[in-house]
Amino acid sequence: MALIVQKFGGSSVRDADRIRNVARIITDTYAAGNEVVVVLSAQGDTTDDLIDKAHELNADPSKREMDMLLATGEQISVALCAMAIEKMGFPVVSLNAWQVGISTDSNYSNARIKDISEDRLRAELDRKNIVIVTGFQGVNRFYDITTLGRGGSDTSAVALAARLKADLCQIYTDVDGVYTADPRVVKEAHKLDEITFDEMLELASGGAQVLHNRSVEMAKRFGIQLEVLSSLDPKPGTIVKEVVKKVESTAISGVAKDDNVACISLIHLTDKPGVAYRIFSLLAQKKINVDIILQSIGRDSTKDIAFTVSKDVAEQAMQILEEHREELDFVGMDCDEKVAKLSIVGSGMINNPGIASSMFEALYSVGVNIRMISTSEIKVSVLVDLSDAEIAMNAVHDKFFRAKR
C-alpha cells in the first residue's frame, strides 16, 4: 500500500464529465489498495472569472478580500468531486485549508505555507476515506483565508506530499508531460521522460507554464519525486526528480519562451559607484523582481543600464525610478514591452562547451537580433523582439533537437 497525492488542474475538473473522469482516476488508485489524498484547482476559468467579477466593483480591491473571493473556486471543485466519488460508492471527504490546518504567513495573494497539520488528514485516511483537499489556499494566524499565488495548487499538492511523506505526487494536467518546447509553438517538440528539478525550475522561470515554480523548489527541498501527466490520456508522463540518466544525447532539455517581459532602459546615467546599487535597491524595496540586467561600457562619464521585469510591474518600476530621476541623474528612460525572453535549459551544459554559441548561431541563421544575454550554470537566456520570438524558438529547438531524434 502506498500513499499517493494526486493533483488535478482546472481544465481537468472543468465540468461534470471531467469531474467524473477525475473521480475514476482517483477511485482506481484507491481500489488498487492505496491511500489517496487529492488536491484540486478551481474549475476551468473560475479564478479568472472571479477576478473579473471583483474588478467590476473595485479596480483595486484589497488583497485580503481578493483571497476571500478566489479561495471559493477550489471549494466548489472539492465538494463536487467528493459528490461524484460518493455516487460511485467510495468513502470520501472533502476538506478546505482551514479544516486540514494549512497555515501560511499573511502575505495575502502570495502567501507561503508555514505548516500543515497531519491530524485531520491522518484521521480521515485511517477511516479509509479518500481525502479531497482545496488547492491554492491556506489560513493565516488571524484565521483569515490566504492564497498561494496563481497556479499555487501545485504547491499545495507538493506540500501535502512532503508533510505526509507520500510515496508519489502526481500532477495531472491537460498536457501529457513536460516538453522540449511549447508544442503549440514548436511542432517538433517532444515529451521528456525525465527532467531534473533544477532544469524544471529554470524552464518554469523561463516561461514554461507547466508547474508552479514554488512547487518544484519544495519538491527538490523535500526530495518529492513528481510525475506530470494527463488526466485525459492515460499514459506515463514526465518524472521530475533530482538526477536523471540522460537517454538523449543532447545537452539541452528544453527551450522556453516568456512573453511576459518588459525591458526598461535608463540612458546617460552618471558613471560613478553606487548607481546600480541605488536603482536596484529602490526596486527591491518595492519587491519588484528584476531578471536580465545589461550595463553598457561607460563613455563621456555616462553609461546606460537596461533591465527586464514582468510586464505587470513595468509601470510601477518606471514610476519609482521617475520619482528619483534627479538623484539617479539619468537623461532618458524607455520601456519596451515588445520583447520576449528565450531560454535554453539543460544540466548537460556544464560539461559541454559551445552550447551558447550554437544557440547564437541558430538565431543568426534566421536573422534574429539578440538584445540582451544572460547565463547561469544550466541556462542561457536571450532577449529578442517579440515579433521574432516564435521563429527564434523554432530555430533554436531545431538546432539542438533535430539531429537527435
Contact set with ligand ASP (CB under 6 A): 9-10, 41-42, 47, 73, 135-136, 150-153
Positive or negative torsion for Cα 387, 388, 393, 394: positive
What is the smallest separation between the CB atom of 86 and ligand ASP, expressed in angstroms? 23
Site size toward Mg ion, by CB under 5 A: 2
Pairing type for strands 130-134 and 35-40 reads: parallel
What is the smallest separation between the CB atom of 186 and ligand ASP, expressed in angstroms? 25
What is the smallest separation between the CB atom of 9 and ligand ASP, expressed in angstroms? 6
Question: What are the residues whose beta carbons fall under 8 Å from the beta carbon of 297, sequence distance 6 or more?
Answer: 303
Q: Which does 135 bind (CB under 5 to 8 A by kind): ligand ASP, Mg ion, none?
A: ligand ASP
Euclidean distance between CA atoms 42 and 176, whole angstroms? 20
Spatial CA neighbour of 111 closest among 103, 122, 100: 103
Nearer to ligand ASP, 153 or 381 (CB): 153
Nearer to ligand ASP, 18 or 379 (CB): 18
- Whole-angstrom CA distances from 138 to 26, 46, 114 are 23, 18, 9
Nearer to ligand ASP, 189 or 219 (CB): 219
Nearer to ligand ASP, 42 or 133 (CB): 42
Euclidean distance between CA atoms 135 and 154, whole angstroms? 7
Spatial CA neighbour of 134 closest among 172, 89, 96: 96
What is the smallest separation between the CB atom of 368 and ligand ASP, expressed in angstroms? 32
44 part of the interface to Mg ion, by CB under 5 A: no
Residue number of the CB closest to Mg ion reads 151
Nearer to Mg ion, 154 or 198 (CB): 154
DSSP 369: P
Q: Which does 30 bind (CB under 5 to 8 A by kind): Mg ion, ligand ASP, none?
A: none
Nearer to Mg ion, 9 or 73 (CB): 9
What is the smallest separation between the CB atom of 148 and Mg ion, expressed in angstroms? 11
9 part of the interface to Mg ion, by CB under 5 A: yes
Euclidean distance between CA atoms 382 and 369, whole angstroms? 10
135 part of the interface to Mg ion, by CB under 5 A: no
Which of positions 145-184 make contact with Mg ion (CB under 5 A)? 151
Nearer to Mg ion, 42 or 262 (CB): 42
Spatial CA neighbour of 328 closest among 243, 267, 379: 267
Contact window for Mg ion (CB under 5 A) among 25-33, 143-151, 214-222, 261-269: 143-151
Count of CB atoms situated within 10 Å of the CB of 315: 12
What is the smallest separation between the CB atom of 356 and Mg ion, expressed in angstroms? 31
Contact window for Mg ion (CB under 5 A) among 7-15, 263-271, 352-360, 380-388: 7-15
Backbone angles phi, psi at 170, to 5 degrees: -105, 130
What is the smallest separation between the CB atom of 43 and ligand ASP, expressed in angstroms? 9
Nearer to ligand ASP, 42 or 85 (CB): 42
Euclidean distance between CA atoms 192 and 177, whole angstroms? 7
- Whole-angstrom CA distances from 123 to 93, 94, 345, 391 are 11, 13, 43, 54
List, in sequence order, every beta strand (DSSP E) within 292-338.
293-295, 302-309, 332-336
73 part of the interface to Mg ion, by CB under 5 A: no
Pairing type for strands 92-95 and 130-134 reads: parallel
Q: Which does 136 bind (CB under 5 to 8 A by kind): ligand ASP, Mg ion, none?
A: ligand ASP
What is the smallest separation between the CB atom of 275 and ligand ASP, expressed in angstroms? 38
Backbone angles phi, psi at 162, to 5 degrees: -65, -45
What is the smallest separation between the CB atom of 75 and ligand ASP, expressed in angstroms? 11
- Whole-angstrom CA distances from 95 to 32, 79, 90, 92 are 23, 8, 16, 10
Which residues are at the interface with Mg ion (CB under 5 A)?
9, 151
